Amino acid sequence: MRRYRKVSSFFALKRLLRNIYGSNKAKKGMMALIIYTVKAGDSVYQIAQRYGVSTNDIVTINQLSNPDRLAVGQALIVPVNYFYHTVVAGESLYSISRKYGVPLEEIVAENPSVTNPSRIYPGQNIKIPGERPKLRTIEVNGYAFPNISEMALTESLPSLTYLSIFSYQVREDGSLVPINDTRLINAAKGNAVGPFMVITNIGESGGFDSELASSVLNSSAVQDLLLDNVISVMQNKGYIGLDIDFEYVYPSDRIQYNNFVEKTVNRLRTMGYIITTALAPKVSENQVGLLYEAHDYEAHGRLVDHVILMTYEWGYTFGPPMAVAPIDQVERVLRYAVSVIPSQKILMGMPNYGYDWTLPYQQGSRATVVSNLQAVNLAINNGAQIRFDAKSQAPYFYYYDSSGRRHVVWFDDARSVEARLKLIEKYNLGGASFWTINRLFRTNWVVLNSLYNVKKMG
């Protein structure tokens, strides 16, 4: 059995992750990445040797709990110090050198198969030393519950613009249920991240409450008191913005919800606060359903600073097995959204979990939530092969439990995360929002930072 050296101290780990995640300033020699799909017979050692990297870096980046065991089809991030450029018509090694600011002789040295540097052809892959240039700078929000671990919080904050702390629950009289948010607020500010207060219509039973929302939205006096309480918390705690997450609002309260958002914006914006709302994943203005009808994309997009699109939960707890955020469905939402909302106001939702369904699926049966790391370990422990669905751009696998029941698991890996994050550039969005950052999935941050710079506050 091959032994792997664990990173010996917090400071050593911090140095490694700084290299992995990069920074907002371009720096030659930072890690780039290759996403490698494990094949039968592969080992971490062999993969590391193939790419000339440290086995411990692969283990750390991918959070491998048992590096001696991999699943066929598993996606691994391999940190490298180069990337590939695909030649297009009219390019030369000299123009490619100018494009990336890399000396011509370095590119020639990295490509010994190019015997004549003056003759390259379209479609040819040229190896470029250094980090691939970032697409652009985006804003990134992360939702967190107050009980988030120190490790998950510490590793996530460098890759965030905003930290939305979930949540202050409103009550019918305009009061708020307090939460223990001081630790998270202080940590956010210490990492140039803006803390956001989140208010929800989650009732005493623990679910989103349509009646509760209706009571608030149909009483001007309650709204005034609620906003007084919100402002008091924001001022006392040091929040820089407010996120309104009212879900399952009655369709008959659509106008009232718009009016409440407008009233909130009018009061808070003059005080310098940022206002966001979380919206259900709609594909048309008149989409039917309690989750959708009261969420007015055009009105919210016109009024608030950002809208967070909850582009996930196609695969959900009581639904049939499928990807949580299939890329084709996410794109349907984005195509509609950018037609009625300024694209730079949109933060695309990114789930940070998967589901495990028992088969055969029966309507009303319950799937089990799994973290992305738990999903991979399930595949490894059950000898399952991970497959990748081209249509949804998401990984999945089948396995049998100890009782002989067949299961299917859909989750996220580096391939699916990268595919969806690229939609930010495709649709010129403002950025992304992760639900939630409580489970540390290092892949999210590594892939994010390989594509974009992250805006920081202050």
The two structure tokens encoding residue 366: 């319950």
**Superfamily assignment of 10-81 in CATH?**
LysM domain (3.10.350.10)
- Quick one: pLDDT band at residue 24, thresholds 50, 70, 90? very low
For residue 289, is it left (φ>0), alpha (ψ between -120 and 50) or beta?
Answer: left
The pLDDT confidence band at residue 415, using thresholds 50, 70 and 90, is very high
Q: What's the whole-number average pLDDT of the chain?
A: 94
Tens digits of per-residue pLDDT, 344-366?
A: 999 999 999 999 999 999 998 99
Tell whether the torsion through CA atoms of 109, 115, 121 and 122 is positive or negative: negative
CA distance 145 to 193: 16
Surface-to-core class of residue 122, CB atoms within 10 Å of its CB (0-12 exposed, 13-18 middle, 19+ buried): exposed
Host H or E run for residue 77: strand 75-80
Q: Give the SS3 label for residue 200.
A: strand
Beta pairing, strands 394-400 & 387-389: antiparallel
What is the structure's pLDDT at 92?
A: 93
Q: Do domains 10-81 and 142-350+431-454 have the same CATH topology?
A: no
pLDDT per residue as tens digits for the range 207-254? 999 999 999 999 999 999 999 999 999 999 999 999 999 999 999 999
Q: What is the pLDDT of residues 170-200, one digit of tens each?
A: 999 999 999 999 999 999 999 999 999 999 9
**For domain 83-129, which CATH number applies: 3.40.50.1100, 3.30.360.10, 3.10.350.10, 3.40.50.620?**
3.10.350.10
CB-based contacts of 347: which residues, under 8 Å, 6+ apart? 139, 140, 141, 276, 306, 307, 308, 309, 429, 430, 431, 432, 433
Tell me, yes or no, if 247 is annotated catalytic: yes
pTM of the model: 0.94
pLDDT tens sequence across 53-88: 999 999 999 999 999 999 999 999 999 999 999 999
Q: Where are the domains of the chain?
A: 10-81, 83-129, 142-350+431-454
The domain 142-350+431-454 is placed in CATH, from the list 3.40.50.300, 2.30.30.100, 3.30.420.40, 3.20.20.80, at 3.20.20.80
Q: What is the pLDDT of residue 458?
A: 75
pLDDT at residue 20 tops 80: no
Question: Looking at 131, 139, 155, 247, which residue is catalytic?
Answer: 247
Q: How confident is the model at residue 29 (pLDDT cuts 50, 70, 90)?
A: very low
